[in-house]
């Protein structure tokens, strides 16, 4: 990726300090103006396991307690003083509103105290642009490409046509893939978060042992549905009641469920690629993109379409602040290339929903994203 030379007083002449707090990961990262990660820290909150899922109030309070120390530690890791930061960015939506308010307010306060600009980042856009981090994908990730975003809260096929320009081709009509993984893991007594535990259990199981449905598979379009699959699995458990499950049966069930999800996702993504023939790359992002079986199926889909497949390393699949900082840098570069003023989003309010389609307004001089 190349960018035009920017004026010396451009806000991206200095490093960006980025904050992520949209769910239960509290994260901070510092990136150079070229997108090189100088330091990053992330804390996975541990106060939710007893509840079987993220409790928004607990998450927000944890962000509030963790952020000051986390930011100080990240600055120390980078060998920078706060005054050397060029600007501050934070996830401002979509996500859990309490966490977004805490993170964005902290970032805005820091920016104000330093006399630096603040850039509001769309959390989903940050996932969408992660593949463009320098050196992450061999040969680069040029626009346009197809993004499969699979996480605990999202399951979408998105045409990524440029910074600020996205088309949603399809999405889940009920549960997100990660949500289904967590719920099934809970049924199997694996605790929370369930995705990694279910994948580990599935390694000792037979993915063909227990027949399960493939919702929407073979149908037109690229929408997803996992609720029926989850219900079918619960019916397989019914005969055992409250009795402990035999280990091999549980492993076979986990493997069969995982394979069913991978088959469905592969089918839906294949359709999405047909809807976007101009795509030069298939990118997977989000926490579920860390699943090895799903990655293998997506590699097959991409190869069948004659495309490259790319997925961030595992540390960048889940929510992190590196992607937030990079999305902010991309936004600033795009504004500069269009001859628009550099963004300063101090008045942008956190929001639980922030459709990607709204991001184009940022680069329309007469529009506002407030």
153 known member of a binding site: yes
256 known member of a binding site: no
pLDDT at residue 97, as a whole number? 97
d(CA 336, CA 302): 34
Cα three-residue angle 30-152-242, rounded to 5 degrees: 135
d(CA 35, CA 97): 28
Domains of the chain, start order: 11-129+317-363 (3.30.420.40), 143-311 (3.30.420.40)
What DSSP element (H or E) covers 350? none
14 known member of a binding site: no
319 known member of a binding site: yes
pTM value is 0.91
CA dist 285 → 217, 255, 328 (Å): 21, 22, 18
Backbone angles phi, psi at 247, to 5 degrees: -55, -45
Cis peptide before 193 (omega within 30 of 0): yes
291 known member of a binding site: yes
pLDDT 10s digits, 308-325? 999 988 889 889 999 999
Largest CA distance in the chain: 70
Of 132, 131, 121, nearest to 94 by C-alpha is 121
Which has more pLDDT, 5 or 342? 342
DSSP state letters, 215-265: TTTTSSS--B--HHHHHHHHHHHGGGTTSPPPHHHHHHHHHHHHHHHHHHH
149 known member of a binding site: yes
150 known member of a binding site: yes
CA dist 221 → 113, 157, 224, 270, 284 (Å): 49, 10, 9, 10, 18
d(CA 211, CA 59): 38
182 known member of a binding site: yes
pLDDT at residue 314, as a whole number? 82
CA dist 250 → 56, 100, 199, 200, 260 (Å): 31, 37, 12, 12, 15
pLDDT 10s digits, 255-305? 999 999 999 999 999 999 999 999 999 999 988 998 999 999 999 999 999
Rg of the chain (C-alpha set): 21
123 known member of a binding site: yes
What proportion of the chain, given as a percentage, has pLDDT over 70? 93
pLDDT at residue 65, as a whole number? 96
Of 325, 313, 294, 357, nearest to 107 by C-alpha is 325
Q: What is the mean pLDDT of residues 202-211?
A: 97
DSSP structure class, residue 47 = S
d(CA 261, CA 18): 33
Residue 302 structure tokens: 């991409």
**In whole numbers, what is the pLDDT of the chain averaged over residues?**
92
CA dist 9 → 6, 31, 303, 306 (Å): 8, 18, 45, 44
151 known member of a binding site: yes
d(CA 224, CA 216): 7
Q: Report helix, strand or coil for 152.
A: coil
CA dist 165 → 160, 283, 355 (Å): 7, 16, 11
pLDDT at residue 7, as a whole number? 44
């Amino acid at each position: 990726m190349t960018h035009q030379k920017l004026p010396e007083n451009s806000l991206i002449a200095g490093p960006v300090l980025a904050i992520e707090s949209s769910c239960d990961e509290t994260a901070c990262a510092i990136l150079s103006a070229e997108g090189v990660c100088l330091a990053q820290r992330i804390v996975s909150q541990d106060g939710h396991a007893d509840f079987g899922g993220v409790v928004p109030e607990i998450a927000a309070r944890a962000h509030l307690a963790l952020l000051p120390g986390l930011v100080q530690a990240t600055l120390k890791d980078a060998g920078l003083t706060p005054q050397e930061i060029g600007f501050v960015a934070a996830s401002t939506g979509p996500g859990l509103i309490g966490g977004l308010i805490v993170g964005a307010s902290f970032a805005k306060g820091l920016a104000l105290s330093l006399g630096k600009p603040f850039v509001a980042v769309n959390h989903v856009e940050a996932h969408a642009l992660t593949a463009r981090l320098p050196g992450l994908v061999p040969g680069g990730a040029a626009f346009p490409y197809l993004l499969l975003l699979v996480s605990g809260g999202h399951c979408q096929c998105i045409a990524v046509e440029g910074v600020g320009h996205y088309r949603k081709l399809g999405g889940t009509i009920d549960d997100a893939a990660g949500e289904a993984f967590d719920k099934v893991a809970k049924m199997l007594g694996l605790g929370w978060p369930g995705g990694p535990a279910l994948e580990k259990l599935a390694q000792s199981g037979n993915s063909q042992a227990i027949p399960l449905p493939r919702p929407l598979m073979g149908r037109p379009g690229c929408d997803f549905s996992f609720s029926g699959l989850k219900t079918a699995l619960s019916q397989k458990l019914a005969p055992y009641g409250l009795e402990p499950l035999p280990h091999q049966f549980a492993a076979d069930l986990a493997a069969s469920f995982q394979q069913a999800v991978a088959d469905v996702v592969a089918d839906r993504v294949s359709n999405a690629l047909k809807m976007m023939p101009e795509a030069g790359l298939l990118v997977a992002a989000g926490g579920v993109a860390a699943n090895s079986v799903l990655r293998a199926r997506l590699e097959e889909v991409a190869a069948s379409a004659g495309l490259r497949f790319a997925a961030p390393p595992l540390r960048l699949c889940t929510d992190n602040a590196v992607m937030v900082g990079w999305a902010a840098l991309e936004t600033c570069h795009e504004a500069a290339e269009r001859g628009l003023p550099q963004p300063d989003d101090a008045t942008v309010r956190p929001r639980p929903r922030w459709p990607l389609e709204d991001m184009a307004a940022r680069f329309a001089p007469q529009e506002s994203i407030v």
